[in-house]
Chain A
Amino acid sequence: MVETPKVAVLFGFGINCDRETAAVFELAGATSERVHVNHFVNGDRDLSEFHILAVPGGFSFGDHLGSGRLLGNRMRFAMREQLSAFVAAGKPIIGICNGFQVLVKTGLLPGKEVPDFEQRASLTLNNSGRYEDRWVTLEFDPESPCIWTKGITRIECPVRHGEGRFVMPSTVDLDSLDSNNQIVTRYVDPSTEPGNGITDETLPFPICPNGSIRNIAGICDPTGLVFGLMPHPEAAYATFLHPHHTRNEVSEEILAEGMQIFRNAVEYAQANL
């Protein structure tokens, strides 16, 4: 049993949400360290030192050649064994925004029980053709095995991407993802009742900000340990970051709903590692 889980937050090569990602894990009760990707690639550090791995948002390698592809390649070719061992040890991994794109391009998502590092899905240009920063409403599959999202019905947080449209080669692939409850979170219409927002019908812009198939915002692997999503829950860590905070009463508690995802992983690590 680990009391204070250690989180490795990757940085370098254009990752740029590493500081806030490290900060929210600390606020959730973990200790976190920003570790340059090359420490793992060169082998002078090892993933086994850590209990949780976070691949934050950013523009790794400028997203040239497709978002997340080049960092995904470095991880796929140079960190393969460490990543396999990490997953085999039952340790949670999260990829946010560019980190999600990286995990999809490495093949860890949607992935297999035992990672084979084959790419099965992709995240591509938004239908609008534009990068945009705007807040969205997310709803979560209550039946999902994802350890990161237990007990969460709905949250609001920002998307900040130009390549967030989730695609898979066929509807069969999507159906199997769906039946495994790996479609963890989707964009929903905020005017629907919480718990009743999820739909397969692609919702209009800007409710679904990128034209993602079945409004998919995030998925997990079959074990529920590896989770990736395009929106940024870490950017909704505090009440005063919500766009409507001046329309509400000032609250004494500053931590907000985005924190739950990170708390879930910390609690999971405390209970299981």
Chain B
Amino acid sequence: MRDVRGDSVKRQLAADHSINIDSVRSIVGFLIDSEITSEEVSTRVDDVFADPIIEESATDSLHLDNPTLFSESPDITITIGFKAGVTDNPGKAALDGFRTIFPEAGEDARVSTYITYVFQGVPEEVDADWLSKQLHNGLIERALYSTKGDKSPEIEYIPVAAIDYTPPATIDLEISDEDLIKLSEEGLLALNLEEMQTIQAHYRDSEVRSSRAAVGLPENAPTDVELECLAQTWSEHCKHKIFAAHIHHVDTETGEDTEIDSLFKTHIMNPTLEMKDEVDWLLSVFHDNSGVIAWDDEWSICMKAETHNSPSALDPYGGAMTGIVGVNRDILGTGLGARPIANTDVFCFGPPDWEGDLPDNLFHPSRVLRGVHAGVRVGGNESGIPTVNGAIVFDDRYIGKPLVYCGTIGMMPRRLADGRESHEKNPQPGDRVYMVGGRVGYDGIHGATFSSLELTEESPSSAVQIGDPITQKKMVDMILEARDAGLITCITDNGAGGLSSSIGEMAEYTNGCKIDLGKVPLKQSGLSSWEILVSESQERMTVAVRESDVPAFEKLADLHEVEATWVADFTNTGQFHVVHDDDTVASLPIEFLHDGVPQLRLESEWVKPVNTLFTPPSVSSHTPLLMRMLSRPNIASKETWVRQYDHEVIAQTALKPFVGVERDGPGDAGLLAPIHGSTKGLVVSNGISPRYSDIDAGAMAAAAVDEAVRNAVCTGVDLSKVAGLDNFCWPDPIESKKTPDGRFKLAQLVRANRELERICRAYFVPCISGKDSMKNDYGSGENKISIPPTLLFSLFGDHPDVRYTTTSDLKPGESLYLVGESKQELGASEISFMLKESGEADGIGGEVPQLPNPEKNLGAYKALTKAIQSGIVRTAHDCSEGGVAVAIAEMCIGGRCGAAIDVDGPGDADLWGRLWGESLGRIMVGVKQNNRAEFLSMMKGHSLTYMGETIDSDSLSIWDGDDLVIEAPVEQMVSAWKGSLDMTGGEQ
């Protein structure tokens, strides 16, 4: 019987490290701690732990000692198990299965899992310790190994060490400013001096003091519970203090000197609220876990995108998995509960073939890619949510901090059976607050404050968790039934800040709450009060239920085997009141908790960056450049990765991520028909172009919005109803000793926001939800690595009929047109980076793509979407990285079809600009000859250039007037495009 698990390890070592091993075999192990004897277990092993058809089982003995299975002593044996307390999903499932067979196993029964890899024929230079490090992450796993002749490793069950309960402490804040800072830093509070002083002042207020005395709290100093709760609630992660800051902005190019009161209010919220007055479909913006728009009379849709960068840097698998299942909970926590129906994933990594130095404690980019991909794959697939759109972007600077953007779309009925509108929460004082799903453990302490600090070698391992999609799936099933039965009055996710944030935020509706930490179910005993309150343990929702609905709600939880515990009540006392059994441990005014954080004052100064101009080398043919460009990681096919995501569960995906004759050409956007039997559609797309920030972060933002819109236009989206999500990932933009260029980085943020507003207004794309992650740096001083300022713009909108859409693959007999204009815009283009890296060009500087007249683009987009909706256009592809040359090449790949085009035409761009330039607003379109006249009349008055025809040959010819500049066989383009990121190690 073939050992596929072992073979996969073998192939991966060959693919990543060019190490060839004769054979790798795997043994799955279970460590059982229970009252059932091993004799009893041994009779039932094949009922639970092993599959009798394909596996050999053994109890209390090692397979390695069985000479019929392992005749030779292995070269290396490595056994990997989880560290105590780390989420072990197979172990949890095994325990459930164990209890099915042995119902008498008892409450204290525990199962943990391990895996042993047995290596034969290992090359001499391969060291066992090195090999074990490639196979496990020391932050969350333990590994034992042996080499030839040694005794085989025997792993033991390690119980979670008991923690001693520490009673709440009083923290003296009557200390010097210096000591206040020290307190914040050492306690991982991530609060600045002004914020610490604001808290200090609160406890000097005489009214506060007398009210504290009344509930038995220390009068003039916070408890640790209160201080931790404030630190969580006031963290950059939760309060977006940089986007809310007062900014003094200076532009040395124009001489502008202005004050900005909150980038968020000025450039995101106000434009959206103004747009909201003009339409009736923006149901809920900004205040909930995701923004909600009306889809039709019966259904509304919502979308949210999150980042999970720091956890993914430390543990790519667990970090990314908690990212995706976490954003699913944002959807479940929207309104009275929306059902997640699609995921999007956009990643930014260092180059997978990186051969340079790696700073300490950082994983190689290929390992980050594998881990993040696996986490998102497991998180999405096991949750039954299709991944319908995404991207992977590569740049050296993401080695320090990978970006992991996870987005989810949700759907809910406009009205519930009891008549309530489901996008509005309506809790009342007296409603009971339940914690539903997972338990609270030590594994999720300080996530929010940690992500608001930069990554260092000392970053704590408790900041990393592993998601448990099945526990969450059970919870989702249960909550959606509870919603439809009208049992929920308020719901939110437990993410950053745990119960302190979730109940604290919901308590704003009724103006008060009382939480009893003694009721909260724990993974291990001994957690102190503040730890229970702020722990970010996963898979938990907070749900409010009317007292009269309690029996029905609890019955539903029982049916689904979901733990639901009454932990708090809503009040109208104005206080966030926390008790632990009989003692009050915190009492904070709701208003101070949510609105007490002082506004930051920041300095911003724009100085135009200097970049060496990109001067193209002289070349005799552009064909070799095309082949190199197609294999660039930023352009190459990601098919082997994307195919591992389920993109079709729910049976609604009308456009797949890969399209065309062999189903391997690139897709532009996701298109769903979420109501079975109906053709009404929903579009989702993304835009991201971080390298333009090297020249101008404003242009970077404009490019992201335009790309998302272009991708959606290719599907035939209804442009009168689209909404956007802005998701900013920035390096720290606050000037300080460790960030001397903070003013410039903040000026980049100002410019990005201004362009975001300008383009969103022009295209009428309201931003209905967003996110920012503002500390994406690694290290300090000369070794500091800061990411390029990155905006991911995600878009979702209506589609009238999914049958009338396009794909990028050329169909035989089409005429080819370019919508939009090619300008001389090669600055920060993919070709400039490629030729600079190879030494064929000196720099990447020059004109970066700009959008001086977005209204004009919108006109062309609207005409094109109408043509697509009428059925006369079946082929369209967005022009982005690599310009016209790469776009047409990809269309030939998808169609397995030749084409001849001429790039000579209107405008003053030179040949390089026309072939490789990345001017915005451009879409390549294919139209059957019999539809040409109608198409031309529909596009009349808009920028449209005839480019050429598909041809009945197997190569792409690109002409510049009379000169043939590219002649590329389709099959060669296919191998160049598909070869470079296929990291599967070859054979199947």
Contact = CB atoms under 8 A, between A and B. Distances in A.
B804 interface: yes
A137 to B, nearest CB: 12
Contacts, number: 199
B649 A57 contact: yes
A167 B53 CA distance: 8
Interface residues of B, number: 70
B850 interface: no
B561 interface: yes
B643 interface: yes
Interface stretch (A86-94, A142-150, A220-228, A232-240): A232-240
Interface string B85-127: 0000110111011001100000000000000000000000000
A129 B93 CA distance: 22
Contacts of A115: none
Nearest to A105: B51
The 10 lowest CB-CB distance pairs between A and B, nearest first, are A16-B384, A129-B8, A23-B676, A64-B93, A20-B651, A122-B53, A125-B4, A64-B90, A205-B988, A59-B382
Interface string B1-37: 1101101100100000000000000000000000000
A160 interface: yes
B643 A16 contact: no
Contact of B48 (A73, A132, A234): A73
Contacts of A247: 661, 807, 809, 811, 874
B651 A14 contact: no
A126 B560 CA distance: 31
Main secondary structure, interface of B, reads: loop
B47 A36 contact: no
Interface band, chain A: 35 or more
A235 B382 contact: no
B534 interface: no
A211 interface: yes
B672 to A, nearest CB: 10
Given A125-B5, A129-B7, A246-B806, A23 B677 contact: yes
B663 A243 contact: yes
Contacts of B8: 129-130
B654 A245 contact: yes
Contacts of B54: 122, 124, 167
B381 A65 contact: no
Given A14-B470, A130-B640, A247-B807, 12 more contacts: A19-B676, A39-B559, A61-B97, A65-B93, A73-B101, A77-B100, A122-B53, A128-B984, A135-B663, A238-B651, A240-B803, A241-B653
Interface string B413-427: 000000000000000
Given A169-B53, A235-B648, A241-B651, A27 B676 contact: yes
B474 A13 contact: yes
A57 B469 CA distance: 16
A190 B383 CA distance: 32
6 contacts: A15-B384, A36-B559, A61-B470, A69-B48, A124-B4, A124-B51
B654 A36 contact: no
B676 A168 contact: no
Contacts of B97: 61, 65, 69-70, 73
Contacts of A14: 382, 384, 469-470, 473-474
Contact of A20 (B94, B656, B659, B676): B676
Interface of A: 11-17, 19-20, 23-24, 27, 36, 38-39, 42, 57-59, 61-66, 69-70, 73-74, 77, 105, 119-122, 124-135, 158, 160, 167-169, 204-205, 211, 232, 234-235, 237-241, 243-247, 250-251, 254
B889 interface: no
B340 to A, nearest CB: 11
B94 A65 contact: yes
Contact of B645 (A38, A133, A240): A133
B381 A59 contact: yes
A240 B672 CA distance: 10
Contact of B676 (A13, A66, A237): A237
A12 B473 CA distance: 8
B114 to A, nearest CB: 13
B470 A16 contact: no
